Structure formats: structure tokens, C-alpha cells
Amino acid sequence: MSDPLTYFQYRNGILSAEELSLEEMASQFGTPLYVYSKEAFKNPFHAITTGLAGLNHLVCFAVKANPNLSILSLLAKEGAGMDLVSSGELKRALRAGTDPQKIVFSGVGKSASEMDEGLAHPLHSFNVESVSELRLLSARSRAAGKKTRVALRFNPDVDPKTHPYISTGLKKNKFGLQRAEILEIARNQKLYPGIEVAGLSIHIGSQILSLSPFSDAFLKTKKMAADVESSLGKPLQFLDIGGGLGVRYRNEKPPTIAKYTALVQKNFGSKSDVRGRYRILLEPGRTIAGNAGVLVSRVLFRKSRKNKDFIIIDAGMNDLIRPALYQSYHEILPVNEDHRKGKSRKCDIVGPVCESSDCFASDRPFSDRVAEGDLVALLSTGAYGMSMASQYNSRTRPAEVLVDGSSYRLIRRRETFEDLIRDEVVR
Ligand SMILES: *Cc1c(COP(=O)(O)O)cnc(C)c1O
């Protein structure tokens, strides 16, 4: 199990990514800067595949968690497939060298042209979330002279007990198909001549911190699969059990990957009631990327109020939106270990963006030694960090660096002002 500091530790008093000092990275590439650890991506991926040994399975990294081409390429080289939610992500996955047969095209709102793009490659399958989508996909697939494998996304109505914005498997959520709709489709498969109903998929939410929602969802999915099979008159080939396993940001105790995969084995493995007869697809994003990156930022100003200080850093909500969007917690550490000593004061650590929600931590105890010009690192920002970054306030997006032991590579250069205005005209 990785925690925020597994791959980012103090070495000789300086917070480092694997063997490289973040101070050195910051002086070379500037701040704000995303720094990733290669090992940190590889380890959870291999923990999943090891835990699922003996079970026919495919781990598809959820591209949206961290779509950088170098990250996708490193995972593809390790054998990962990819889970996509747009044609942009499809292009990225292919550009990064992913085997198309390991690609799953998910997403609640694919356009016809996105479908056509997907259909142009021998993808593993499409996950379909509405009857209208199925009708359109069937027609496009037929027009392309294909019979396309789909999994119907089943909304199992389980509460993942996570933040409402990242819960997706409740009846009230926009995602997936209801039981009755799925059975109706299965009974009338011939209405959709361009597709083959070959599986079911679920994805109940993100940052899930206990096994019981998964357990409930797996049971409901198996029951649903049996019902679909009797309506279809033939067995399903695969079940896509989605992503969602939480990681540690602070003091959460998410189930270990080993416990999670043991639950998958128990439900779907050779000794389970379904005797390993389904290929199992997984779509982890955060589990693989969450603790694989940090955002390094420099303190611009520090100002004192009676009962707290404001520490204004050069990273803003445009660079990392999770705290503003989901009230999420990120550990923030001074890069220089000496700055952890000293007297602790209550601080708001905020960005430069003109929004009150541009706040990374409020009333957080922080050392009075951290001064203007010093570096801090926002931990656990490998997933949904750079991926959700924007140019709000006309801020250029950060650079990204991938560290491998004591070597490193710039995997995305810092955006420039020219990048920002490239598609605009003055008239
Ligand atoms: C976002 C998403 C995932 C990944 O979720 P994590 O919580 O990052 O594991 C997987 N599948 C689908 C369909 C998604 O939308």
C-alpha cells in the first residue's frame, strides 16, 4: 500500500522524488511543477496483477487520472490496458503505444464521431450507458461493417460513502443503465444488429475507503449477469468492475490492494460460485496514480493576521483543483526538512487565483520557519492533478517531470503565454 511519502522522502534533509531532490528539480524547471515517481506508478499496477494471478483479467488504467503520454507509455510497457472517456484519450492511449485490444471505451456521452474513431480500431469493447447510445453505436458499427463488443454499464445502486461528486453508482446519478433497461436490451438484442452484448460494467465511485460497497456491487453484478444471460440465451464473456479503490491522502485507511484483489478472487476467481468463467476488467485510476506525484510550489508571500497566517504560494486552483472542487485534503510539506521544525502556527495555504476557493489548506498547523522564497510540496497529486489543470486567470499550466531512480525526464514543458493565446485572434 502506498502512502503519500512512500516514493517521496527526505534525503539529506531535502524532500526528494526517489533519489532526486525536489529543490534541484524546482531550480531546473521552475515552479509550480509536477514531479512523478516511475516506481510509484509501476508498483500498484503490479500489485493488482499479482493479486489477480490465475484469474483471466485485464487492468485498464483510467486515462483521465493522468493522461500524460509518458505516463501512459510507461504503464502500457508494463502491460496495462487503458480505459477512456473521450476520443482525445483514445488518441493519447494509441500514441503511447497501448495495444488497441486492451482499450475500453467508456463515457456517458460519446458523440457519433467519437464512436467512429473508436470503431476504426480493434478495441476490446465499448461500455454503453444508455439505450440511445446503444442504438447509435449499433448503427455506426453496422455502417463500419462491424459487430462491436459492448458491456452494458449497470448502475447497481450502492452507496460508496465517498464525496457526493465522486459517487457514481447510485440511482440518482447520471451514470449507467437500470436493471430493467438492461434486461430489455438483452431480450431484444436483435434490435441492435451492430453490437454484441458481451459483458456488464460497473463503476460505483472514486476514493472508496472500505471493501463493503465493492462487495455489494460485485454480488449484484453477478446476479445481474446471470439474469442477462438467461435473457440473452448465452453466456457473457467479461465483467468490468470499474475503478474506485481509495488511496491515503492523510490518515485514511483504504483497503490494501491485496485485500481488494482477494475480494475480486473470492467473487470471480476459480473457487467462486462463477468459477472464473468471466474475464475480469478493472479500471483503476487513482489507485495507480494518486500517490505517484507531488506538486512543488514556491512561497510567494506570508502575511500574518491575529490568529493565523496566510501563506500565498505560486500554485493555484487552476493547477490543482481538487481541494476547491471536492474539499479534498492534501498533505503539504516544506521541501527543506529544517523548515518542519520551529513553532507551528495556524495557516491558510492559498494560491494566487482570484477566488476564495483557491485554498489548499485552511487552519493547517505549519511551521513559522517557512518563509517567502521557500519550497513546499503538495503530496498525493499524481491523479486528477495536472489532468484537471486549467488556464484560469491566464495562468500557464505547470511542467511535469518523471523521476526514475536518480535520473529524470521533462515529460511536459511548461506552457508559455504563446501557447495560451495560440488559437485566438485580435480583430
Ligand atoms: C473515473 C473512472 C474510473 C477511475 O476511477 P478511480 O477512482 O480513479 O479509480 C474508472 N472507470 C470509469 C468509468 C471512470 O469514469
Residues 148 and 238 reside in one and the same domain: yes
Query: What is the extent of the structural domain holding 277?
Result: 106-284
The owner of cell 510540496 is 377
Residues 136 and 256 reside in one and the same domain: yes
CA 128 to chain centre: 20
Residue that is last in its domain, among 259, 284, 309? 284
Residues 260 and 324 reside in one and the same domain: no
Counting from 1 in the atom list of ligand 1, the atom nearest the Cα of 283 is 10
Q: Is residue 115 part of a domain?
A: yes
Cβ burial 280-301 (10 Å sphere, 16+ → b, else e): bbbbbbbbbbbbbbbbbbbbbe
pLDDT at 111: 97
**DSSP character string of 231-296:** HHTS---EEE----B---SSS--PPPHHHHHHHHHHHHSTTSTTTT-SEEEE--SHHHHGGGEEEE
Q: Please return the burial class of 219, using the count of CB atoms within 10 Å of its CB with bins 0-12, 13-18 and 19+.
A: middle
pLDDT digits (tens, 9 = 90+) for 275-285: 999 999 999 99
The owner of cell 539529506 is 12
178 vs 268: CA distance, rounded Å: 22
The answer to whether 201 and 153 have CB atoms below 8 angstroms apart is yes
Residues 329 and 387 reside in one and the same domain: yes
The answer to whether 163 and 209 have CB atoms below 8 angstroms apart is no
CATH number of the CATH domain containing 357: 2.40.37.10
* Arithmetic mean of pLDDT, 42-65: 98
How large a percentage of the chain has pLDDT more than 90? 93
> Does residue 165 carry a pLDDT above 80?
no
Residue that is last in its domain, among 284, 305, 335? 284
Which mutation among 165, 283, 287 tests ligand 1's pocket best, with the greatest number of atoms within 8 A of CB?
Answer: 283
CA 107 to chain centre: 14
334 vs 340: CA distance, rounded Å: 6
Quick one: cell of 222? 453477478
Q: Which of 108, 30, 71 is nearest to 319 (CA)?
A: 30
Which mutation among 58, 83, 326 tests ligand 1's pocket best, with the greatest number of atoms within 8 A of CB?
Answer: 83
Average pLDDT, the chain: 96
* Arithmetic mean of pLDDT, 399-416: 98
Q: Is residue 97 part of a domain?
A: no
Residues 194 and 321 reside in one and the same domain: no
Residues 131 and 260 reside in one and the same domain: yes
**Does the C-beta of 106 come closer than 6 Å to ligand 1?**
yes
Phi, psi of 171 (to 5 degrees): -50, -40
* Arithmetic mean of pLDDT, 305-320: 97
Q: Is residue 385 part of a domain?
A: yes
What is the whole-number distance in angstroms between the Cα of residue 203 and the centre of ligand 1? 7
In the structure, what pLDDT confidence band is assigned to residue 175 with cuts at 50, 70 and 90? confident
> Does residue 172 carry a pLDDT above 80?
no
Rg (CA), the chain: 23
Query: Helices 212-232 and 257-268, interaxial angle, to 10°?
Result: 30
Q: Is residue 383 part of a domain?
A: yes
pLDDT digits (tens, 9 = 90+) for 284-299: 999 999 999 999 999 9
> Does residue 365 carry a pLDDT above 80?
yes
pLDDT at 61: 98
Residues 112 and 221 reside in one and the same domain: yes
Q: Is residue 295 part of a domain?
A: yes
Residues 257 and 306 reside in one and the same domain: no
| pTM, two decimal places | 0.96
**Does the C-beta of 155 come closer than 6 Å to ligand 1?**
no
**Does the C-beta of 162 come closer than 6 Å to ligand 1?**
no
* Arithmetic mean of pLDDT, 255-272: 98
> Does residue 1 carry a pLDDT above 90?
no
Residues 207 and 313 reside in one and the same domain: no
pLDDT at 279: 98
Phi, psi of 313 (to 5 degrees): -110, 165
pLDDT at 166: 62
Return the active site residues.
Answer: 354
pLDDT at 167: 66
**Does the C-beta of 286 come closer than 6 Å to ligand 1?**
yes
**Does the C-beta of 206 come closer than 6 Å to ligand 1?**
yes
CATH number of the CATH domain containing 231: 3.20.20.10
Q: Is residue 43 part of a domain?
A: no
In the structure, what pLDDT confidence band is assigned to residue 160 with cuts at 50, 70 and 90? confident
What is the whole-number distance in angstroms between the Cα of residue 283 and the centre of ligand 1? 6
Residue that is last in its domain, among 284, 303, 322? 284
**Does the C-beta of 65 come closer than 6 Å to ligand 1?**
yes
Q: Is residue 44 part of a domain?
A: no
Q: Is residue 67 part of a domain?
A: no
Residues 301 and 239 reside in one and the same domain: no
Residues 319 and 394 reside in one and the same domain: yes
* Arithmetic mean of pLDDT, 322-349: 96
223 vs 239: CA distance, rounded Å: 12
| Cα first-last separation, the chain | 55
Domain total of the chain? 2
Q: How many residues does the chain have?
A: 427
Q: Which of 47, 118, 116 is nearest to 80 (CA)?
A: 47
Residues 260 and 116 reside in one and the same domain: yes
Which mutation among 174, 203, 381, 388 tests ligand 1's pocket best, with the greatest number of atoms within 8 A of CB?
Answer: 203
What is the whole-number distance in angstroms between the Cα of residue 362 and the centre of ligand 1? 28
pLDDT at 388: 98
**Does the C-beta of 153 come closer than 6 Å to ligand 1?**
no
Counting from 1 in the atom list of ligand 1, the atom nearest the Cα of 64 is 1
